[in-house]
Amino acid sequence: FAPAPLCYWAGAITILFQITLILSGNLSWLNYITIVLCIACFDDHFLARLLSVPHSLPAHLTVSHTIVVSFVTAIVLALSWRPARNLFSRRQLMNASFEPLHLVNTYGAFGAVTRERLEVVIEGTDAEFADVSAEWREYEFKGKPGDVNRPPCIVSPYHWKLDWQMWFAAMSPPDLHPWFFALVQRLLEGEHKILRLFAHSPFPDAPPKFIRAGWYRYQFTKPGERSWWMRTYVAEYLPPMTLRNGSTELRQRS
């Protein structure tokens, strides 16, 4: 609703910010559709000059049109006051007015961002017993951090869905993510469609006998160090799992 010069600057700054996110992050197509929305900040006169196309100025708005636009603007501002005040509050209460009705789904692009990067590292072994003598080998994902010596990659605007889900899985225990157990089961079965979702499978010839997962905290290393990441073991995410009698039922190691 701001005048044209302010709209131009707001749109340009937002587009520039989205470009920096494209270059520095992997938010898939989110930044691109945000840039598309910012085109509305530039009116026909500006776009005509930018694209060097002829443009005729429209007639002035009628009084009735101006009244309707002003009325709608006032309603939007009035309805936006409480959500905006809640947004800047330290104790946010999101969507409390309509959530009990279960009528619509909410949408928010990163309303909260974690302060640390936890990652789930999946490992397998073909040893007969998952004990201290077993040799564990990691599954490498295509996008998300794994090998500390591999630099971050840019996949935008493509969307690695498994890597994306693994980011959310690392925020809470596996019991809250049933799909993760299905992933482990398919790895134990050696299903090729699932293995294609990984950048590297440490068991190309035969599936492992056990799969486990660890919780790690990842941090960037300091400039000048050989590795890109520094990781610290936090806790066990999933204990060693195997197939029960070769069937598709998972069994935890005793």
Question: Does pLDDT of 99 surpass 70?
Answer: yes
Question: Does pLDDT of 157 surpass 60?
Answer: yes
Say how far apart CA 188 and CA 124 lie, in whole Å. 9
Q: Which residue has better confidence, 137 or 107?
A: 137
Residue 196: which pLDDT band, with cuts at 50, 70 and 90? very high
Say how far apart CA 47 and CA 129 lie, in whole Å. 68
Question: Does pLDDT of 254 surpass 70?
Answer: no
Can you give the pLDDT at residue 109? 64
Question: Does pLDDT of 248 surpass 80?
Answer: no
For residues 26-43, give the mean pLDDT. 88
Which residue's entry shows tokens 């204990």?
239
Q: Tell me: the pLDDT tens digits for 82-94?
A: 878 887 777 777 6
Find all residues with CB under 8 Å of 162, minimum gap 6, and list them: 141, 183, 197
Q: Which of 219, 7, 36, 225 is nearest to 115 (CA)?
A: 219
Q: Which residue has better confidence, 51 or 117?
A: 117
Can you give the pLDDT at residue 107? 64
Say how far apart CA 212 and CA 239 lie, in whole Å. 5
Which residue's entry shows tokens 């610290």?
232
Which residue's entry shows tokens 């299905």?
182
For residues 160-182, give the mean pLDDT. 94
Residue 51: which pLDDT band, with cuts at 50, 70 and 90? confident
Can you give the pLDDT at residue 247? 57
Q: Tell me: the pLDDT tens digits for 9-34?
A: 999 999 999 999 888 877 888 899 99
Residue 236: which pLDDT band, with cuts at 50, 70 and 90? very high
Q: Tell me: the pLDDT tens digits for 60-82?
A: 778 898 899 899 999 999 988 88
Residue-averaged pLDDT of the chain: 87
**CA distances in angstroms from 113 to 102, 206, 217, listed in the order given:** 25, 39, 15
Residue 250: which pLDDT band, with cuts at 50, 70 and 90? low
Q: Rounded to an integer, what is the distance from CA 20 to the centroid of its chain? A: 16
Residue 177: which pLDDT band, with cuts at 50, 70 and 90? very high
Can you give the pLDDT at residue 82? 82
Residue 32 identity (one-letter amino acid): Y
Q: Which residue has better confidence, 28 or 137?
A: 137
Find all residues with CB under 8 Å of 127, minimum gap 6, and list them: 133, 134, 135, 209, 210
Question: Percent of the chain at pLDDT above 90?
Answer: 54
Residue 246: which pLDDT band, with cuts at 50, 70 and 90? low
Can you give the pLDDT at residue 253? 59
For residues 128-132, give the mean pLDDT. 90
